[in-house]
Amino acid sequence: MKEYLTEYKKELSMLNKEEIIMRDIYLKELLDGKLLGPLTNVPSIDKPWLSKYEINSIKAELPKETIYNYFIKNTKEYDNLIAINYYGTKITYGELKKNIEEISKKLIKMGIKKGDIVTIALPTCPLTTYLFYAINKIGAVSNFIHPLSNPNEFENLINEVNSKIVFAYDGCVKNVVPILNNTNVEKLVSYSPFTDMPLVIKTLMNFKIKTNVEYSDKVISYNDFMKIKTNDVTSYTEEYKKDTLAVMTHTSGTTGVPKGAMHTNDGFNSMVLQYKAVAKNFNVGDTMLTVLPPLASFMLCNCMHMPLCLGVTVDMVCKYDKEDIHKYFLKNKTGSFHMMGIPSYFTEILDNKKLKNTDFSRLGYIVVGGEKLEKEKEELINECFKSHNAKVKITKGYGETEIVSSATYTFENANKLGSVGIPLLKTSVKIVDLDTNEELSYNKEGEIYFNSPSLMKAYYNNIEETKENIVTFGNERWIKTGDLGYIDNEGNVFVTGRIKRMFLTVGSDKSLTKAFPDRIENTLSFSKYVEKCLVVGKPDKERNKVPKAFIVLKSGFNYSDEVLSDLVSICNSKLRETLRPTEYVFIEKMPVTKMGKININKVENEEDINVLVRKKIN
């Protein structure tokens, strides 16, 4: 049987796109009981999640367009609708297209041509959108990096792709100028995020915040950029070619150096198609609150490109504080309200007194991703939504930079508590045994692999990492996530841990065993005192490594013997001896990466943390 399945998988991996659609329709009818036949008990072959999709959705073909052309094609009827709302400045779809066209000509005038890489270090603002589409329109590549990078990071990220033109937020220009002579940059365009705000707000902000930029031959203002004459420039739109590099973003670097992910037109557009075909609650005229920074492909695609292609207004916030959610949540009066973000953005709703009497009946897709949302918090948020008249529950997505954004999502008919949803329409999943590399059946834990049309081309100039993380099988390319998890019989995916954080420890019987920090963290989270926790492996002469827990206490609680006793008691009752922390370090807050995730390296090395109390357990 094993040999038969191996051979069958090889045959399936060689199917073309049309054959895959035909087989998916067959599986859908088989799963729905319309056809009779055997299943293999292998998730990637049976695809049980297809029972959640409609036949017409399964038949949908992937776009063969550039990102720009896909946007234009989908928005022909929307020119008079509002595309972007930026602190009260409203930009219609028609105006957005004119601005994209104008900027594309100025880029051509500056010498940008097909294949050139333009580096962008901006906050969330209209110019981000203009550049995203304008650069793609002329066949160039946009390279998004964090505007708060330090000089050394700027130098490395600019030189890595040999950018000639850089667009930077004026507050970070001081970190770019010192390294310009070490690069091939010809022009640095300085942009103030106040530029596109209404006059009253812009005047006030310019008065409150003074940013001095020294202009030169290389450093010009955005106003000077916009003055570039383009009368002699012929409008140009690059034609679509399969697998062409279009956008570069970078991994979050929670456990190592960030890597450049090379995204294609196909990757971005296939992500939109997979949601468009099944996300029925997106309607023309709705609003998407966009607060994530544009250095993440998740923001660029799911919070900007996707809603714009669906006729949804993107309400942009360039600097967001989760404690200010009451200022933005449901502030618009028409259509459904959608928002995507990390867990802390939405747990803030629970304690925000200014939202106490707010009606949530207009909530649409409220999506959490980036980090795990604990079951307890998920239940509390859903209860809060229900008590405020919401007709929806919070939904979860799971993916990574390498596949643009999502691989799974908890659609209305697939939102199991604790799961991260079912694979997207054209995406497949398999669970692989860590020791044998064999695919596992349902409800068995192993490493999560995804096959997705949005999978990146490669890591930029990093062949070794690409080969390490992308596995080719026939016509299929699978990304190894580095996450532990399992898939249930209905196709719901559950993430249980992070393989790369695993360490080996020796038990009292002298046997070597694997320890997964996530499981210890989940146990510690049962304590009523714990807000956040992180567990690392601490070197030990006798046991190789032992668990060491870093704890951030909830507001209102301070360290006491009672707190420590509670943590030790929970671990003693729920964890075997080898997994119980031997040291507890209580800290003020967790350091985070530029993507907002906990910076594991800094915690482990005790960098940028304020240790309040340290307690060792015998």
Residue 445 pLDDT: 93
Residue type, 445: E
Question: 3-state secondary structure string, 260-297?
Answer: EEEEEHHHHHHHHHHHHCCCCCCCCCCEEEECCCCCCH
Residue 253 pLDDT: 57
Cα–Cα distances in angstroms (integers) from residue 377 to residues 302, 346, 417, 497, 533, in the given order: 24, 9, 11, 18, 15
Residue 276 pLDDT: 86
* Phi, psi torsion values for 566, nearest 5 degrees: -65, -45
* Coil vs helix vs strand at 223: helix
Residue 498 pLDDT: 79
90 HSE (CA, 13 A, CB side): 10
- Please state, in angstroms and rounded to a whole number, the distance separating the CA atoms of residues 340 and 367: 5
- Please state, in angstroms and rounded to a whole number, the distance separating the CA atoms of residues 579 and 589: 24
Task: Pull the structure tokens for residue 473.
Answer: 């099988």
Angle at 234 between CA 233 and CA 239, to 5 degrees: 130
- Please state, in angstroms and rounded to a whole number, the distance separating the CA atoms of residues 443 and 77: 46
Which segments in the chain show pLDDT lower than 50?
A: none
Residue 364 pLDDT: 94
- Please state, in angstroms and rounded to a whole number, the distance separating the CA atoms of residues 103 and 236: 12
- Residue 207: in which H helix or E strand, if any? helix 199-208
Cα–Cα distances in angstroms (integers) from residue 117 to residues 104, 233, 297, 489, 600, in the given order: 14, 20, 16, 45, 31
Residue 38 pLDDT: 87
- Please state, in angstroms and rounded to a whole number, the distance separating the CA atoms of residues 161 and 175: 18
In 3D space, the residue among 508, 500, 513, 587 whose CA is nearest the CA of residue 550 turns out to be: 587
- Please state, in angstroms and rounded to a whole number, the distance separating the CA atoms of residues 464 and 449: 18
Residue 168 pLDDT: 96
In 3D space, the residue among 537, 478, 552, 527 whose CA is nearest the CA of residue 506 turns out to be: 537
Which residue in the block uniquely carries the two structure tokens 């088989």? 30
- Please state, in angstroms and rounded to a whole number, the distance separating the CA atoms of residues 238 and 265: 12
Residue 509 pLDDT: 62
Residue type, 441: S
Say if residues 191 and 122 touch (Cβ distance below 8 Å): yes
Residue 10 pLDDT: 87
- Please state, in angstroms and rounded to a whole number, the distance separating the CA atoms of residues 273 and 266: 10
- Please state, in angstroms and rounded to a whole number, the distance separating the CA atoms of residues 397 and 392: 15
Residue 118 pLDDT: 98
In 3D space, the residue among 300, 301, 296, 352 whose CA is nearest the CA of residue 329 turns out to be: 352
Residue type, 154: F
For the chain, what percentages of helix, strand and coil (3-state, to nearest 5) are there?
A: 35, 25, 40
Residues in the chain: 618
- Please state, in angstroms and rounded to a whole number, the distance separating the CA atoms of residues 185 and 112: 12
pTM of the model: 0.85
